[in-house]
Amino acid sequence: MTRIAFAGVGTMGRHLVRHLLEAGHELRVYDPSADAMAYAASLGADASATSVADICRDAEVCLVSLPSPALVRSVAHEAAAALPQGALLADVSTSPPALAEELARDLEPTGIVVADCPLSGGPLGAEAGTLTSMIGGSDAAFATLEPIAQTWSAYVVHTGGHGTGQAAKLCNNMLAGTHMAALCLSLALGRKAGLSDEMLFDILSRSTGDSRVLRARYPGLGVDDAHPSNRDYSALFTLDLMTKDMELAVEFARGMGADPTLLESVTTIYHEAQAEGLGGLDYSGLIRLARLAEEA
């Protein structure tokens, strides 16, 4: 059993909290949302804290799950100031690799062990405990974090040094975001050519255009009740969050000296969707740009 502090009980975090409690860990949580705290308490977590510092004072591990790099940076520093020497601080959000390196550089000299551990698989994977966990940091950090990550994962991998977990996650999400943009264009063109959404799905899922993005959240209607498109694009992973990840991917590509033109073009499409008020939808709601264009 490990004493774990958990900051950020959002869409992903609430499932991680459940898995940690079911594995027998001692868990204290903090989230500014009263509803999130009430949910964590209903699962059996200690939700009495009024700050991040409150949950960190005698924790062995602190997990941070937050929607923006700025929040991660702020909360990580607040947590590190309260954690005991030798405790592990792990960012399970999607953040820039440079932020992971920065936190390690700033906090490890103070006696805090730092790791980045972004997750892939979305809320459904988090709920089922089938996520992929990509851990960047020292061998010692991986040894501490691996059994914790196993509670919610089907695959846990030590990617290397600080920031490599985040690099792996961005390599994944740039593909997912780009494929969704291409998939929405494909569907819009198919409709104009007279192909039904169902027919195109059957063709693509049996052909070289197949992908996990296609099978999990095809933006067409009537194909699969589990797809957000058949639930008014109720978000599994919001378009706003995918836009943030695409922006991070552009920065990552530039920082690595790669040509970011493709990623910039795709990110522009997501920005256009945000400008049309689609940011709170699932990112498969990008298809609504095509509808808006038809209506214009």
- Residue ranges per domain, the chain? 3-161, 168-295
CATH top-level class of 3-161: alpha beta
- Exposed e or buried b per residue across 248-266, where buried means at least 16 C-beta atoms within 10 angstroms of its C-beta: bbbbbbeeeeeebeebeeb
CATH topology of domain 168-295: N-(1-d-carboxylethyl)-l-norvaline Dehydrogenase; domain 2 (1.10.1040)
> Would residue 169 show up in a list of annotated catalytic residues for this protein?
yes
Written as six digits, the tokens of 124 are 């459904």
Q: What's the pTM value of the predicted model, to 2 decimals?
A: 0.95
Are 3-161 and 168-295 in the same CATH fold?
no
Amino acid, res. 23: A
pLDDT confidence of 290, banded at 50, 70, 90? confident
Short-list 46, 75, 44, CA closest to 62: 75
The active-site residue out of 169, 217, 244, 288 is 169
pLDDT, tens digit, 9 for 90 and up, residues 120-156: 999 999 999 999 999 999 999 999 999 999 999 999 9
Give mean pLDDT, residues 249-259: 97
Helix (H) or strand (E) holding 4: strand 3-7
Distance, C-alpha 145 to centroid of its chain? 18
Which pLDDT score is estimated for 296?
55
Per-residue pLDDT at 199 exceeds 80: yes
Per-residue pLDDT at 38 exceeds 90: yes
Per-residue pLDDT at 294 exceeds 80: no
Sign of the Cα torsion 268, 279, 131, 8 reads positive
